[in-house]
Amino acid sequence: MAVWIFSNKYEGRYQDSDWDTATILKRKQYYFKASEKNRSKVSKGDLVFFREYGTGIWGTCVVGQWQDDKEAKRKHNIEAGWFPISNPQKWDVVLPYEIVAKELSNQNYRLRIAKATPEDAHTLELAKRIYERMGYGRADGELFLLEAGLEEAVKKNLKQLGLKLADENIRQQCALGIGIGRTDLICLDKNDNFVVLELKAVASSEAVIGQIQKYMGYVRENWAEKSGKQVHGIILTPTFDEGLRYAAKEAKIKVLRIRIA
């Protein structure tokens, strides 16, 4: 049994086409170009780790014998096909690729089909267990940023969240007063309810909940109540611990993972 890392873009990137992760899991057919590097070296019974570009390792499966897609020329204008997959396991955490990349035998992070080793498999499973025991878990969703510069990138990608910046008379990144602090972004949803965004460039803990609730309380008292609107909160962070997840769930505040697409 050989070990491989199959990489793909984020779920929904290719909508419902053969290439999309959601389609792959639904059909249990991992789709590739026939000319994909290393494709011919993969054999029935090999172990595969699922990887998503921009995030990390998120599960495993066992592959079957390669099948040519006779309709590929018509559908995609290339020769393509799939590996049947069995026993797909979707992990409760996404193991960030950057924390394990240097420990892997294959340093080519661009390959869609990357050769790995049994030692790599052990490294990934061990790192996953440690990551889980440290308290890291899934987010409510993800925001894909298309460029560097956190606040400016989020502003340009608010449509992904169904949001827009609040009215011009409400300043962004403003000091709300002594003891309150400085907001990141104040937005409006499709119903013109207020949404306070708190942006974190590093790992976050439950202390962020108190911080964003202060801002939400200020927005509620000074703007929302006067116009009969609701106030919601969203925390954007690359990673977070289990304490934040529990606290956010209780406070009804969303936690979204920031990723570079």
On whether both 182 and 220 belong to a single domain, the answer is yes
Confidence bin at 25 (pLDDT 50/70/90):
very high
Select, from the ranges 35-49, 142-156, 167-181, the one with the highest average predicted confidence (pLDDT): 35-49
On whether both 201 and 218 belong to a single domain, the answer is yes
Distances (CA, A) of 170 to 42, 63, 131, 234: 57, 54, 40, 18
On whether both 92 and 164 belong to a single domain, the answer is no
On whether both 188 and 230 belong to a single domain, the answer is yes
pLDDT at position 147: 45
On whether both 12 and 125 belong to a single domain, the answer is yes
Distance CA 185, CA 173 (A): 6
Total number of domains constituting the chain:
2
* Residue finishing a domain among 133, 155, 179: 133
* Residue finishing a domain among 103, 133, 163: 133
On whether both 162 and 181 belong to a single domain, the answer is yes
pLDDT at position 52: 92
pLDDT at position 179: 47
The CATH number of residue 217's host domain is 3.40.1350.10
pLDDT at position 178: 44
Q: Please give the average per-residue pLDDT across 126-146, as a whole number.
A: 69
Q: From 190, 143, 144, select the one nearest 164 (Cα to Cα).
A: 190
Distance CA 57, CA 50 (A): 6
On whether both 120 and 175 belong to a single domain, the answer is no
Residue whose entry in the numeric block shows the structure tokens 């499973």: 125
The CATH number of residue 95's host domain is 3.10.590.10
- Amino acid at site 51: R
pTM: 0.59
Among the ranges given (19-33, 81-95, 171-185, 221-235), the one the predictor scored with the smallest mean pLDDT? 171-185
On whether both 89 and 181 belong to a single domain, the answer is no
Confidence bin at 34 (pLDDT 50/70/90):
very high
Residues 6+ apart with CB under 8 A from 184: 151, 172, 173, 196, 197, 198, 199
Q: Please give the average per-residue pLDDT across 211-224, as a whole number.
A: 91
On whether both 244 and 176 belong to a single domain, the answer is yes
Distance CA 121, CA 159 (A): 38
Domain that holds residue 217: 141-260
Structure tokens at 85: 């997959």
At 44-102, the pLDDT tens digits run: 999 999 999 888 899 999 999 999 999 999 999 999 999 999 999 999 888 888 789 98
Number of continuous H segments (helices) and E segments (strands) in the chain: 7, 13
On whether both 58 and 19 belong to a single domain, the answer is yes
Distance CA 97, CA 62 (A): 21
Q: Please give the average per-residue pLDDT across 126-136, as a whole number.
A: 79
* Residue finishing a domain among 133, 156, 177: 133
Quick count: other Cβ atoms within 10 Å of Cβ 122?
A: 11
